[in-house]
Amino acid sequence: MSIVLKQERAKQLPFGGIFAAVLGLTVIAWLFLNQSLGQVLLEWLPYLAKGFTMNVLISILAIAIGTLIGIVLGVMELAPFAVVRAPALVYVQIFRNAPHLVLIFAATYIFPFELVIFGNYVPFPDWVKAVVGLAIPASAHIAEITRGAIQSIPTAQWDAAQGLGFSRSQSLRWIILPQCIKRSLPPWMNLYASITMGTALASLVGVHELLHSANDASTAVQRTDFTVVVYLTVLIAFFLFCYPVSRFTQYLERRLASR
């Protein structure tokens, strides 16, 4: 299996980058030839950019919350007591198999639009619900990544560390965890890319993110060529954000594999 993966990695050429450049240049050339179209797009670009910041914000919050909960769940999955293990296993099983879209819908419709915290009404906007909806599957995936990473460290290392005079917490801090982090970084980044792509689903529950903005723009302008360009822009925006992440992941995988 490791041979398979190594060869696969060695063959990765930056075709995607070339493709994005070609696509981007085509759009720019088109806008140059059709200047009225370029002008309209330029007018809408700030609005689209504002939408995209929402995507980035949702993805960062979702992965942050998902990571915190996921690590706890991952450790719970390895607990020696079935009482601790069982709920974590069930949670991970259910939410890893659940479609992101369904969880976003669930979060949107189940939570109230405002929360009462110590008698104060705190608004609970849709985009925060989308964060929750994406943090749930993220936490389930991270639980599996964490479990895999901890299990991949041979238990003999604990004994060896003890033999060298490390206490249990010292060996966790200096020997086990650094290796876990290194091993789980590539899958964690893959997950981040997939969560970022999941943020587009928030448009379906009315969050003003990029796809929603593009929809607004295309309905407002009502031009066939503008509709084509605006959706292509959305596609390119996501690509430019996710492609470097996936390239960097591949680079990390390659570096870690050669060790």
Partner 1 sequence: MLDGFTTHFIDLMKTVGLNFEFLTSGYEVRMWLDGMVTTLVLVVITIPISLIFGVLFAAALTSGKKWLAVPVRAYVELTRNTPTLVQLMCGFLVLNMLISNALGGAQNNPLTPFFWVVAITGLHVAAFHAEALRGGIEAVPSTTIEAARAIGFNSLQILRYVELPLAVRSALPSIINNLVNLVKLTTVGSAIAVGEITYASIMIWTQRDNVVELMLVILLFFSLINLVVARIGFWLEKRLAVPGFGQ
Nearer to partner 1, 71 or 200 (CB): 200
Angle at 70 between CA 65 and CA 74, to 5 degrees: 165
Strand ranges (E), the chain: 114-117, 120-123
101 interacts with partner 1 by CB under 8 A: yes
Q: Alpha-carbon distance 201 to 101, whole Å? A: 6
- Which residues partner with 114 through β-bridges? 123
Q: Alpha-carbon distance 249 to 245, whole Å? A: 6
Radius of gyration from C-alpha coordinates of the chain: 22
Q: How far is the CB of 88 from partner 1 (least distance, A)?
A: 16
For residues 214-243, which are near partner 1 according to CB under 8 A? 214-215, 218, 224, 227-228, 231-232, 234-235, 238-239, 242-243
Residue type, 157: Q
Q: Alpha-carbon distance 3 to 46, whole Å? A: 47
Site string for partner 1, 68-97 (x = CB under 8 A): -------------------------xx--x
Q: How far is the CB of 95 from partner 1 (least distance, A)?
A: 8
56 interacts with partner 1 by CB under 8 A: no
Angle at which helices 224-257 and 2-10 cross, to 10° = 130
Nearer to partner 1, 21 or 160 (CB): 21
Judged by the rule CB under 8 A, the positions of this chain that interact with partner 1 are 1, 3-5, 7-8, 11, 13, 15-16, 18-20, 22, 93-94, 97-102, 105-106, 109-110, 193, 197-201, 203-204, 211, 214-215, 218, 224, 227-228, 231-232, 234-235, 238-239, 242-243, 246
